[in-house]
Structures are given as C-alpha cells and as structure tokens.
Amino acid sequence: NNDIVLNLNPACKLADTSWIKPGKVFRSGDLKQDRVKAAIDFAAERGIRYVHMDAGWYGPEMKVSSDATTVSPDKDLDIPALCQYAESKGIGLMVYVNQRALVQQLDTLLPLYKKWGLKGIKFGFVQIGNQRWSTWLHDAVRKCGEYGLMVDIHDEYRPTGFSRTYPNLMTQEGIRGNEEMPDATHNTVLPYTRFLAGAADYTLCYFNGRVKNTKAHQLAMAAVYYSPLQFMFWYDRPEFYKGEEELEFWKAIPSVWDDSRALDGEIGEYIVQARRSGNDWFVGAMTNTEARTVTLTTDFLEPGKKYMLHLYEDDDKLNTRTKVRSTHKKIKAGDKLTLKLKASGGAALHFIPLK
C-alpha cells in the first residue's frame, strides 16, 4: 500500500515484462555440480522458484583478477547444464557476482549469462551514495533488463523506487537481516521503518543454530517481510529438512500479494500482518523479546465465508526439534483468535476458503 516513493520515479521503460517472475529462492552455498542439483530438487519439492549459486563460483570474489565469465578451476560446475536441469524441474538459476567483476565485465557478462540460461544476478558489495556509483548501479540494472535478467542488489543499497522504472530490480538488502542474526526487538522495528522504503532481502533462516528467535517467529517472517525474491532457508542445506509439518506454510506462501493489511502492532514490540494471494490469506505475528497475548479478529476475511485455518505456534512442550505445534480447524470470517506468543516468538496462519 506504500507507492509514494515508487510514484516519484518514471513509469516502466521495459516494453516486455512477462519474463519478470517473482518467487522464493534457495541459496546453494555448496558449489559442486551434484550439490547444486540437490538444491534444485529441494526447491522443486518445496515450492521454491529459484536456486541461487552464491559467492565463490568464479573464484575469490574480492579479487579484481577473478573472472566472472568462467567457473573457478577448483569447481566442477557446468552452468549451462545446470540451467537446463533446473528448467526441466521448473526452477530458474541465479548467480552472485561481486561489484569488482561487474564493473570490469558487465557488458561481457550479460549476453553470456543470457546464453547460459540464467534468470538473474545478485550484485554483491556495491558502492552507494554518491552520484557516480548511483548512476553506475542504475545503468547496470537497466542493462540487465535489456538482457532479461532480474537483479537483487546486496549490501547497503536502499530502495528509491527505481524498480517502478525497471521492475527487473526485484529486491535489495539494505537491511540488518539474518546474516547478522538480530534479535526479535530489531525484527519488530523493521516493518515500521525499513520496509516503508520498499522490498528488503532479509535472507530468512530456519534451521541455523545462531538464530536468536523461535521457529514460529522465523516462519511468520515470510508473511510479515516483503520481498518479491524471498530468500528462504538461508545457510541451510536440503538434508536439514526432515519433513517438519510447519514448513508447509513456507511451501504454500507466495512472495507477492493482491492485498496487504497491517492488523495490529507497536513499533519495536509486535506486528501482526495479513496478506492475500487469490482467495487465500496468510498472517504473520511476531513479538519482541517479551511474551504477549494477541487477540486477532478475522474481519479481513470475506464475510459469510468459512475457512480452514492452518495455525503454527511455538510449543516448548513438544518433543520435536523445532517445537512448533500445527493446528488445523474450521473457522468463519469474523471469528476471534487468541495467539499466545512466547518471548522472541511468533505465529503463522494460513486461511484457505472452504467450498
């Protein structure tokens, strides 16, 4: 609902935007042919649209001598073959490229990456702020659009609404996300501050042991935090998943929305965010480092309709490794729900209309 910043920018300059497809992304930190294939298989099974090959595939990213037109000699990656394998599974492949290589090689990289079959690039360690680098960055996004490549700008770049003009700029970091493992108070500030500027690539973690918050808190992020390219399972590997039922929420949830409504909250204390895709509603509730009880009135649902609610909440009494309780029940629009959020916790809700 926040389009003021977008509307300060010129209208879309891409004649064809049909190739720009938002979706969830899984990062493959294991840069081996078989491991990237395993990541592709995992993405296909878990409703994830893209697999991202992270830093190191073309050599040490911080070295100016690293050549992003070729795979590092110590890697067995065949990127065109991986793109074809991904395509056969309905998955797109993306790559990370540090700005050191982008500055030197961009005009060579773009036709090559298009030929390989890549769908997008994550720009790494960009420089920001002054006129020279802002101009370079926007020109780079424009050139990517001309070659049918989506862009995710990482590090300190913050959105200025340029994605209205070149919507292949899908998202950007400019946020203290899960690479920094912030606490729940920080996470409940972000919806009221950073996200007012636009989409943010927080890189949602789940299984990683350094996360300071509960699993239900992490689940809820997929509904609370907006990013058309939504990176999920950051630092995780396919084998970490053991069939946890609550992760059906992440499988079902999209990354773009038909309607968004902030239902309740206070900055730095808690947030309850509802989002609709088609006829389904997804709700994320997150609290800070204090436990609290939140009453949710479901008057955002279509009046007179009944829904199946899939509810995922923290429960320390469960003898499971994630300690998330799954509850499934029928409700009608307007019913009240009581969510008991533990400290640094949350809840995730998926409403599916019943026929």
Percentages helix, strand, coil for the chain (3-state, rounded to 5) are: 30, 30, 45
Look up residue 206 and give its two tokens: 């789940």
Q: According to the model, what pLDDT value does residue 189 have?
A: 98
Asked if residue 321 lies in contact with residue 301, where contact means CB atoms within 8 angstroms, the answer is no
| Beta-strand relationship, 50-53 and 23-28 | parallel
What is the C-alpha separation between 324 and 332, in angstroms, rounded?
24
Cα dihedral angle (130, 131, 136, 141), rounded to 10 degrees?
90
Q: What are phi and psi of 92, to 5 degrees?
A: -105, 150
- The structural domains of the chain, ordered by start, are 4-257 (3.20.20.70), 260-353 (2.60.40.1180)
Q: List, for residues 210-246, the tens digit of each pLDDT value.
A: 999 999 999 999 999 999 999 999 999 999 999 999 9
CA 297 – CA 136 distance, rounded (Å): 48
What does the pLDDT read at residue 1?
72
Helices of type H across 213-333 = 215-224, 248-252
pLDDT of residue 123: 98
Q: How far apart, in whole angstroms, are the C-alpha atoms of residue 166 and residue 144? A: 9
Burial class for 34, CB neighbours closer than 10 Å (0-12, 13-18, 19+): exposed
Amino acid at 28: S
**Angstrom distance (rounded) from CA 352 to CA 86:** 30
Buried b (16+ CB within 10 A) or exposed e, 287-296: bbbeebebeb
Query: Which stretches in the chain have pLDDT values below 70?
Result: none
What is the Cα–Cα distance from 76 to 66, expressed in whole angstroms?
A: 17
User: What is the DSSP track for 30-85?
Assistant: --SHHHHHHHHHHHHHTT--EEEE-TTTTS-TT-TT--TTS--TT----HHHHHHH
pLDDT reported for residue 30:
96
